[in-house]
Amino acid sequence: MDIAGSFATLIDKCLIDPIFQRINILTNSSDNVREMQEKVRELKAARNDKRHELGQAENVGHVMTDKARNWFEVVSETEMEATGVEERHQRTCAWGLCVNCWSLYKLSKKSIDLKQKAGDMLNQQFDFAKRPLPKSVIEIESEPTENLPPSTQNMLQKMLDGLGDPKTRIIGVYGMGGVGKTTLAEKVNNHFKENSCFETVIMVTVSATPDISRIQTRIGKRLGLDLPEGHDVDDAREKLQDALRKKNFLLILDDVWDRLELKGIGIPHPRNHKGSKILITSRNKGTCTHMDAEIKLKVNPLSRDESWNLFVKKAGLYVTANRIKCFAQTVVEKCKGLPLAIVTVARAMADRDGVGEWADAVREMETSAADLRGMKEEVFVPLKFSFDKLEDDMLRDLFLYCVCFGEDSDIFENYILDYCVGEGLVDKLGSLMAVRNKGAAMIKSLKIASMLEDGEYECTVRMHDMMRELALWITSLGSDGSPKFLTRAGGFKEAPHTKEWLDATRISQINTQIEKLPEIGERCPKLTTLLLRNNKILTIVPQTNFLEHMDNLRVFDLSYLSKLEYLPDSLSGLVNLRVLRLRGCSSSSKSLDLSNLRYLDVSRTKVSIPAGVISHHLLKLEDFYLYGARNIKWRKGDEGNNKEEKRSGLSSDEAHHQPSIIDVDELSSLTHLTSLRICLKDITISDWFKPLAKKVTGLLLERCTFKIQDAIQAPYESQILMWLVIKQCQGLTCVPCRVIQYLEIYNCEDLEVLDGAKEAYQESSESLELLILKRLPKLGSICVGLAPLNFFGRLSSLTIEECNRLNMLFTKGMPHLFNNLKYITVANCNGMEVIIEAEEADWELEENNNNGVFSPFPILRKLFLHNLQALVDVCSNHILHCPLITEVEVWNCSRLKKDPLHIRNADGLLVMEDGSPWWKGKVVEEEIQMI
């Protein structure tokens, strides 16, 4: 029984159940297909939802995962299979009859499998989208590098070379706004797309008001980090540090205005992270320094040719047409190489082919560039960020003050002092010397901020034309507290209208041709500066209805008004005047009763200062310049009494046109005096001179008699003596040469030596730049005791004439003191036998050359030897090697032969003898055997 039961159970399980299952699958085929369709429809709906979600994720930079891509493929396959099953089921059961049970069974079984597969797909859980792996470099759209101007390409190469230097970690690139720094930064970024030695290159714009959170988000995005808006800065800092420490990165920080704390953002310092670099661009050189940049590269404006080529490229070739080209070139010239301005003007003038349109554009650029379409929004507004970011109002005001000077002209830093004094800095800082230092510091700050540039000459600055136009734009507003300037320089023949004077803060009419100044019947309460300098036509400053309405005037410049007949009496009513410049003014004055003056320049004028005015009315003077004042004579004690007696016998009008005679003791009453330039003639120099001389910055002594020798030492003790001229003085046997710039001595019969070896000056620095010695019959040496002091280390020009006792100019040990000499002139010295005497230790022997080669003057350019009848050799039988020499001129040196001239590298030099060519090219090549 048990065996039979077990067998029956086995039969039931292995035979009967499968038969009934298959029968069930067959009979329920329609239900199975319907249930498959429902499940597949659910799967299709889920697929559509996932596609929509994926599209949204891709819009924010995410990408599809590999699992998602496979899932969508399987869903598509399942859908296709289900469609096939449905179609075959309909054909198999046409009109409700099944003609093929086996086919119907297979279709029913397939529908069950597809239903299960669709259900499994619906139940799968995974991320359909993910943040992509960050690219090492994201290329920024820009024109090809080969299309950039050559100077830009050169700067780009310097930046890349710096980044390639393993010793350099941080590079700073600076320059004025709009000069092309961002373009260069973008080029550096793109360069590493194909040539990357960094795992990640990240470029971030910092801007004038840096947002640390935004900077972190930008860097984090490039690193693949999710830093949502409003994230915690401290948490983000840790995440960024962890991510960047694992990478070799280049971080480009564009448009940096102030020092950024790298650590506070989450940026590891490159010096602690080998191989990583940071590139900074800024308008301010100081920012690069504060960011620890080891290399600082300045981006300069484009050259004239580069500017023109850029303009043509942006405006179109039609600007090269003859009828337009001259106008277009004038417009481009006004941009002064600033790419931002050039491109803006080119866009404004694109497709303008009318001569009238171009003539009007020239007019607008010359009168007010802000009026040209696009200039205000695209050039001046961005540039004004530099102005707004200056440290304080004083720097901003000083920058604006510089617009008072002519276009394309150097501004002497001494004129900047006018502004400082006029603004009352003397009262705040205590002395004019402190103001000078403050002014120098402010000028340096403006240069560091790329708001001013170095001038062509020493101690000068200049404004880039676009910076000047920016200042003109700012000062032309005259509203909301902005200063209003009236600035006209060069060519103008009419003064501003009377009404314009009333609201002006500063008026500059420099280098104009104004014939007449207006009468002003109302007060000018804001006017503090009036500059009328260098007008060759103006003859009269109105006596009435002019200066009396300018009671707040602080700076007044009438320099070089060569036809001005007289100074108005109303000048003495300017009670707040601090600075008065009359240099080179031809007018005379009855009085200069200005008790608040701090700076007075009457050099080369006919101005007469009556006795007693200095000691009673000019007591606040700190800078007093009287060099060449033709109507001022000085006396000491009773020395000028005879002249005074003759003057007393004249009428008042006659006396007014006679030079005033002032006792030098009046100058001692100027207790605030720090800088004095003066001519002393026909006066005895004794102990009284010592305290006064310590305040002298420029001194001319003519026909003076020295009673004591050490009086001439006094000017040097202050170390501010800029120039010294000594003419026809008696009793002077020794003159120190510790002058900052210029020393000229002639016709002093007793002078024997220039001496600088006093103990007190052993540590003085080199200073003298120009030395002229003429007609000094007893001068035996120009260098006694100077060897350890090197006072001649900056001397660039030396002239010796009619010093007949000198037989050798540079004795042994001297030449190496003159390593900055560029020009040497020796003339009419009857005793001069040799120019240079070389020590054995100073010259070198060359192979196949019996004469030593001596190289004392590494930058000497020109050598002039005139009328030296005793001269037999230039360099005591040695070859003189001057690598940069360009000209040698010899006149009337009868004993000097060609062979002993001994000047190496003489190709192309021309030596003249009595006006005709004597020698050209190489010097006796066979004899000296030059290489």
Q: Residues 554, 674: one domain?
A: yes
Structural domain contains residue 593:
yes
SS3 of 402-438: the string is: HHHCCCCCCEEHHHHHHHHHHCCHHHHHCCHHHHHHH
pLDDT tens digit sequence for 627-674 = 888 888 888 876 655 544 455 554 455 555 577 888 888 888 888 888
Please give the share of the chain, as a percent, with pLDDT higher than 90.
Answer: 13
Q: Residues 642, 559: one domain?
A: yes
Structural domain contains residue 754:
no
pLDDT at 127: 73
Q: Residues 520, 642: one domain?
A: yes
Distances in Å between the alpha carbon of 224 and those of 200, 220, 250, 598, 763? 11, 6, 16, 65, 62
pLDDT at 154: 92
On the CB side of 588, how many CA atoms lie within 13 Å of its CA?
Answer: 14
Question: Comparing 407-411, 555-559, 693-697, 896-900, which segment has the lowest mean pLDDT?
Answer: 896-900
Q: Residues 321, 436: one domain?
A: no
pLDDT tens digit sequence for 356-382 = 877 887 777 766 676 667 667 777 777
Q: Residues 278, 230: one domain?
A: yes
Task: Report the DSSP pairing between strands 781-784 and 753-755.
Answer: parallel
Query: 41 is in which domain, residue-wise?
Result: 12-130
pTM assigned to the model: 0.69
Structural domain contains residue 787:
no
More confident residue, 126 or 647: 126
pLDDT of residue 757 exceeding 60 = no
Q: Residues 547, 666: one domain?
A: yes
- pLDDT band, very low/low/confident/very high, at 825 (cuts 50, 70, 90): very high
Structural domain contains residue 752:
no
Q: Residues 193, 268: one domain?
A: yes
| Cβ(216)–Cβ(237) below 8 Å | yes
From 435, 464, 480, the end of a domain falls on 480
**Distance of alpha carbon 847 from alpha carbon 690, whole angstroms:** 58
**What is the average per-residue pLDDT within 562-575?**
86
Structural domain contains residue 788:
no
Distances in Å between the alpha carbon of 3 and those of 11, 370, 676? 12, 114, 140
pLDDT tens digit sequence for 183-205 = 899 999 988 887 778 888 999 98
Q: Residues 587, 568: one domain?
A: yes
From 298, 327, 346, the end of a domain falls on 298
| Domains contained in the chain, number | 6
Q: Residues 358, 424: one domain?
A: no
pLDDT at 454: 85
pLDDT of residue 784 exceeding 60 = yes
From 377, 412, 429, the end of a domain falls on 377
Q: Residues 506, 643: one domain?
A: yes
- pLDDT band, very low/low/confident/very high, at 924 (cuts 50, 70, 90): very low
More confident residue, 601 or 340: 601
pLDDT of residue 159 exceeding 90 = yes
Locate 364 and state its tokens. Answer: 């607008």
More confident residue, 800 or 916: 800
Q: Residues 231, 94: one domain?
A: no
- pLDDT band, very low/low/confident/very high, at 922 (cuts 50, 70, 90): very low
- pLDDT band, very low/low/confident/very high, at 822 (cuts 50, 70, 90): very high
Return the residue matching tokens 């030098």. 664
pLDDT of residue 252 exceeding 50 = yes
Q: What are phi and psi of 248, to 5 degrees?
A: -95, 105
Mean pLDDT (the chain, rounded):
79
pLDDT at 25: 61
pLDDT of residue 743 exceeding 60 = yes
Q: Residues 860, 924: one domain?
A: yes
More confident residue, 888 or 646: 888
pLDDT at 315: 82
